[in-house]
Amino acid sequence: MSDQHLLELRAVDKSFGAVRALNGVDFHADAGQVMALVGDNGAGKSTLIKCVAGIYPIDGGDLLWEGQPVSINGPKEAAALGIEVVYQDLALCDNLDVVENMFLGRETRSTFRRLDEAKMERETMDVLKDLSVTTIRSVRQTVAGLSGGQRQSVAVAKAVLWNSKLVILDEPTAALGVAQTRQVLDLVKRLGEQGLAVVIVSHNMSDVFEVADYITVLRLGQNVAEFKRTETTQREVVEAITAGELHSVPGMHEEEGALT
C-alpha cells in the first residue's frame, strides 16, 4: 500500500451527547480502489460518512486529505475538495429531467445569465457514456420515469460530473432488483477503474465481495478489522461484524452512558 492515502482518518472520535458513535476510528480510501465499509446497524457507518461529507464536525482525531490535515465544515467544503456523497435517497427531483438533475445547483450559464442547455446536455451525455450507462434512452426524460437502477446511475453520474476524487455510496443497491443491482455494481467497478477512490457502504456481503478491493469493518463505533478482499472470506467478515474484538467495551471503562 502507498504511504499516502487520498483520504485518511486517524483515531477519529464523534459523540452525540453520551452516545459515542465513533471511538478512535481509523479509515482510509485510495485512488483507483473500492473500499467497502461494513458493519451492523449502529456500528457508526453513517456517522463516519457524514463526518467525511462535512455534515458532522469531528470531536477528536485527524482527517487527512492527500496527506494534509483538513477540517471539513459543510458539504460545500467537501465538494470543493472533491468529495461527493450519494445518499440512499439519491436526492433527485422527480419533476426535472436527467440533465437538469445532474447540474442542479451548479448550472452552466451563457450570455444574459441564460442556462446553457446544449452544453449541459452534451456533458451529461459524455459522462453517461464514460460510465457506460446505456440504459437511459433520453437524457431529457424526467427522473420520475426512470427505474431504480437508472436513478442510482444518474445519482452516481452526478457525483462524478464534478471532477470528484472520492465518491461515497451509501447502500447503493439496497432497494434494487437483481438486474438493476448488476448495473449499479458494474458502475461502481468502473468508477474504481477510472481512478476514483470509492467508498461503498453496504449490508450485502455478496455485493461487497464483488466490487470491493478492501473491506473495513466497524462495530459499535470502533474499527474491528480491515481485510483485503482477495485474502478473506465472507464468513470471516461476517464474524468480524458480529463478534469482532473491541478495544474498549462501551459503558465499561469510560462513561456511564451506554450505547443503546
Partner 1 sequence: MSTAVEPSPSAPATDSPTARGGLRGYTQQWVDNVRGGDLGVLPIIIGIVAIGIYFQARNSNFLTAGNFVNLIAQMSPFAVIGMGMVFVLLIAEIDLSVGYVSGMGGVVAAVLLEPGNGQWPTWLALTAAIATGVAIGLFQGFFVSRIGVPSFVVTLAGLLAWNGVVLQVIGNKGTIVIQDKLVIGLANDNMSNGLAWIVLIASVALFLGVQLSTVYRRRQAELPNVPLSLIAIKTVLLAGIGIFVVEWADTDRGIPYVGLLMLVAYVFWTFVATRMRFGRHIYAVGGNAEASRRAGINVANIRLVVLGISGGMSALGGIVLASRLSSVDTSTGGGSVLLYSIAACVIGGTSLFGGRGKVSSAILGAVVIAMIDNGLGLLNVSAGTKFVVTGIVLLAAVTLDSLSRRRSEATGRA
Q: Which chain residues interact with partner 1 by CB under 8 A?
A: 75-76, 87, 89-96, 100, 104-107, 109, 113-119, 121-122, 125, 137-138, 140-142, 144-146
Closer to partner 1 by CB, 119 or 189: give it. Answer: 119
β-bridge mates for residue 142, sequence order: 97
Cell readout for 248 is 474498549
In whole angstroms, the minimum distance from the beta carbon of 150 to partner 1 comes to 11
The rounded distance, in Å, linking the Cα atoms of 240 and 42 is 15
Q: How far is the CB of 139 from partner 1 (least distance, A)?
A: 9
What single DSSP character describes residue 259? P
Between 146 and 220, CB nearer to partner 1? 146
Q: Are 236 and 215 in contact (CB under 8 A)?
A: no
Q: Least distance from C-beta 216 to partner 1, angstroms?
A: 25
Q: Residue 143 corresponds to which cell in the numbers above?
A: 427522473
Nearer to partner 1, 142 or 248 (CB): 142
Task: Estimate the crossing angle of helix 148-160 against helix 178-193, to 10 degrees.
Answer: 10
Smaller CB separation from partner 1, 126 or 193:
126
According to DSSP, the residues that pair with 23 across neighbouring strands are: none
Long-range contacts of 101-110 (CB under 8 A, 24+ apart): 101/143, 101/154, 101/158, 102/127, 102/154, 102/157, 102/158, 102/161, 103/161, 104/158, 106/162
Instruction: Count other Cβ atoms within 10 Å, centred on residue 119.
Output: 14
Query: Residue 180 — φ and ψ, nearest 5°?
Result: -75, -35
> Closest approach of Cβ 57 to partner 1, in Å?
18
Nearer to partner 1, 154 or 211 (CB): 154
Q: Which is nearer to partner 1, 140 or 228 (CB)?
A: 140
Task: Tell the smallest beta-carbon distance from residue 116 to partner 1 (Å).
Answer: 8
Q: In the bound complex, what is the minimum distance in angstroms from residue 55's beta carbon to partner 1?
A: 10
Q: Report the C-alpha gap between 53 and 51 in whole angstroms.
A: 5
Cβ 104 vs Cβ 96: under 8 Å: yes
The smaller minimum CB distance to partner 1, of residues 138 and 242, is found at 138
> DSSP state, 82?
T
Residue corresponding to grid cell 478512535: 24
